Chain A
Amino acid sequence: MNLVGVINFVLAWVAALVGLRYEALPELVRTAIGMVIACLVIIGFVALVAMFFGWAERRVAGRIQARQGPNRVGPAGLLQLVADGIKLLIKEDVIPDSAYAVLFRLAPILVLMGALAPFVVLPFSENLVVSRMSLGVYYALSFAALEVVGVIMAGWASNNKWSLYGGMRLAAQMMSYEIPMGLAVLTVVVLTGSLSLGDIVAAQQGWWIFKWNIFRGFPWAFIAAFIFYIAGLAGSKRTPFDLPEAESELVAGYHTEYSGMRFVMFMIAEYGTMYVVSVLTAILFLGGWWGPLPREISWGGHVYWAAGPVLSNVIGVANLVGKAFFLMFVILWLRWTFPRVRVNQVVYICMKVLVPFGIVCLVGAAIWALIPWPSW
């Protein structure tokens, strides 16, 4: 059962409660309804994550700088982002006179699409996944590259040289960091023998946390995890790789000219990309939903306790989202620790560190996969 199936199951259950037969609808209509609701669930989830981390980012930034952070609106400042959201939504939507209006309007939508599309294949647990694509990893990576198009479009359509610089920088950075990212993913794929995210997670089951990919195929996947995470950091344009929106030189880079709702789209896309990178890291290297919280307690072949089908999914979601949130916290932590790197340093890190190490990891993992390990 996938996410659409789960939603339809819940719908049928609710319909039965009010005395309707949901199964009477044709299969096609039911699937369509389930898909629409799944889309809304994902968009809502991403918006919530973006809001929560918009708040968390300020709080963490404040605490790291020995300040309080926002704490006046709502408990612990939790409603600050609601207030900011209302402010941004009712702001005037300004399009500069000299901008190319069509592309200017289209760009944030493309960027948001690029950030939301990977959620189709991102599993929250075994059953809570929209699509079990057999090429899930590549789907996620390729749709993340859609952001480049949107960002170049935004930079160019703004008709502002700083925006254009920002867009070009981001394009160069994201394109080049996709190489080490792909190499790191390939390392995992070679170890697991599958491109499907579900299969990759399934292969990490067992021995509590010690079958996670970072421990399996040590040290290759361990190094690959860092390569993937750093490349993902660069891909989601976060500090220390936030050259595209370097505020000291480029004002705000490619979204300088945007305001109101379109600016919100860029923000949601940024946090969405961060979340995608964190979840992918958790899935590929940190065991996905096989997490610190166990789903069954067994010893010596005897199962003392095993979670039911619903509870095991809940535990799986808690594990995965917990790990993803921790990795997102690390992104915030890195942001408020390090200064921005120079352009030549961005190229250096990619071409002289991450790519060679990625190739070594890939070859090492290939040799590791060839060794006939005894099956414990």
Chain B
Amino acid sequence: MSRPSTAFAQYWRTFWNAIVTTIAGLRVTLKYLFSKPITVEYPDVLPEVPEQWRGWHAYEVDRCIMCGLCVKICPIQCITLETEGTGKDRRVKLYQIHYGLCLFCNLCSEVCPVLCLWMARDWDLTCYRRDDVLMRFDTMDPSEQRKRLWPSLIHHPLRAEKKAAKPAAGATSPPKSATGETPAQPKEPLA
């Protein structure tokens, strides 16, 4: 290589490089030709989302103590909580999240003292009408909420951890949905 290369040598080097790079390129594409496509065929096959995915919220109205912490911590005030009655009769009148505003920061779920509000893994956040972004959780059909919890997260993640750590604790305060063992298809209504 120390000698200045002649045009003749350069020609043959180019020629050789052309052959080598051609074969190298063809090998790469042949490898990909016989590899599996990475496409997820969405309507037929649902994509796998990570455990920590923040999708729609899940809310258990029966466990809620109406403390209002989630409403206070929400940075954009997209949660509306209204209650009626006092003392033992106090119950939720309206629990609504405005998904046009929600930024899925997970603060409401972290602050919840009874772990009745958490972010489920349903990533399909589309809706047909503008009013649908106002999601009422207190009157929500249980089957619809179960659909939200797809694919397996049917408890607050912290509660699921606790249950796994000491199963006896779960027995003392049985959750409304006792089907945590078969999380893929919960059979009982949640709320």
Interface, chain A (partner B; CB < 8 A) = 60, 62-68, 333-334, 336-338, 352-353
Q: How far is the CB of A349 from chain B (nearest CB, A)?
A: 8
Kindly list chain A residues whose C-beta atoms are within 8 Å of the C-beta of B33.
Answer: 60, 63-64, 333
Chain A nearest CB from B40 CB (Å) reads 10
A64 and B36 CA atoms in complex are apart in Å by 10
B19-63 with Cβ < 8 A to chain A: 22, 25-26, 28-30, 32-39, 41
- Contact status A337-B35, CB under 8 Å: no
Binary per-residue interface labels of chain B (1-22) against chain A in the complex, 1 for a CB within 8 Å, 0 otherwise = 0000000000100010000001
State A65–B28 Cα separation when bound (angstroms): 11
Assign chain B's interface to a size class.
10 to 19
Q: Which residues from chain B sit less than 8 Å from chain A, CB to CB?
A: 11, 15, 22, 25-26, 28-30, 32-39, 41
Residue of B nearest to A352 (CB): B11
A63 with B15: CB separation less than 8 A: no
Contacts of A338 in B (CB 8 A): 22, 25
Closest CB of chain B to A80's CB: distance in Å?
15
Complex contact A333–B30 (CB within 8 A)? yes
Are B37 and A336 in contact (CB-based, < 8 A)?
Answer: no
Q: Shortest CB–CB separation between residue B118 and chain A, in angstroms?
A: 35
Minimal beta-carbon separation of B37 from chain A (angstroms): 5
Which residues of A have CB within 8 Å of B39?
66-68
Query: Contact: A336 with B35, CB < 8 Å?
Result: no
Secondary structure of the B contact surface, majority rule: helix
Looking at the assembled complex, report how far the CB atom of A73 sits from the nearest CB atom of chain B, in whole angstroms.
Answer: 14
A352 to B36 alpha-carbon distance, docked (Å) = 41
Does the CB pair B37–A62 fall under 8 Å? yes
Whether B38 and A337, one on each chain, are in contact in the complex, defined by CB atoms closer than 8 angstroms, is no
- A333-B37 in contact given A64-B32, A353-B15 (Cβ < 8 Å): no
Is the Cβ of B37 less than 8 Å from the Cβ of A63?
yes
Please, which residue of chain A has its CB at the minimum distance from the CB of B38? A66
B residues less than 8 Å from A337 (CB atoms): 25-26, 28-29
Nearest chain-A residue to B11 (Cβ)?
A: A352
Once A and B bind, how many residue pairs between them come within 8 Å at the CB atom?
37
Q: Which chain B residues lie closer than 8 Å to A63 at the CB level?
A: 32-35, 37
Answer whether A333 and B29 are a contact pair too, CB < 8 Å, given A68-B41, A352-B11, A353-B15.
Answer: yes
Q: Tell me if B28 and A68 are in contact (CB < 8 A).
A: no
- Cα A63 to Cα B28 with chains together (Å): 12
Cβ contact within 8 Å between B26 and A333: yes
The 6 closest A-B pairs by CB, nearest first: A337-B29, A68-B39, A337-B25, A64-B29, A66-B38, A68-B37
Contact indicator A334/B32 (Cβ below 8 Å): no
Which residues of B sit under 8 angstroms from A352, Cβ to Cβ?
A: 11
Extra 20 A-B pairs, beta carbons < 8 Å, given A66-B35, A338-B25: A60-B33, A63-B34, A63-B37, A64-B29, A64-B33, A66-B36, A66-B37, A66-B38, A66-B39, A67-B37, A67-B39, A68-B37, A68-B41, A333-B29, A333-B33, A337-B25, A337-B29, A338-B22, A352-B11, A353-B15
- Taking CB atoms, residues of chain B closer than 8 Å to A62 are 37
B35 nearest CB across to chain A (Å): 6
Q: How far is the CA of A64 from the CA of B31 in the complex (A)?
A: 8
In the assembled complex, the CB of B33 is this many whole angstroms from the nearest CB of chain A, namely: 5
Q: Provide the bound-state CA to CA distance between A197 and B83, in Å.
A: 91
CB A294 to nearest CB in B, in angstroms, measures 28
The interface residues of chain B lying within 8 Å CB-to-CB of A67 are 37-39
> Are B37 and A334 in contact, with the CB atoms below 8 A?
no
Q: How far is the CA of A63 from the CA of B30 in the complex (A)?
A: 9
Instruction: List 23 A–B pairs whose Cβ atoms lie within 8 Å, in order of A's numbering.
Output: A60-B33, A63-B32, A63-B37, A64-B32, A64-B33, A66-B35, A66-B36, A66-B38, A67-B38, A67-B39, A68-B37, A68-B39, A68-B41, A333-B29, A333-B30, A333-B33, A336-B29, A337-B25, A337-B26, A337-B28, A337-B29, A352-B11, A353-B15
Q: Which residues of A contact B29 (CB under 8 A)?
A: 64, 333, 336-337
Q: Which A residue sits closest to B15, measured CB to CB?
A: A353
The residue on A at minimum CB distance from B36 is: A66
Q: In the bound complex, how far is the Cα of B41 from the Cα of A246, in angstroms?
A: 32
A71 nearest in chain B by CB position: B41
Whether the Cβ atoms of A334 and B15 lie closer than 8 Å is: no
Distance in Å from the Cβ of A29 to the closest Cβ of chain B?
51
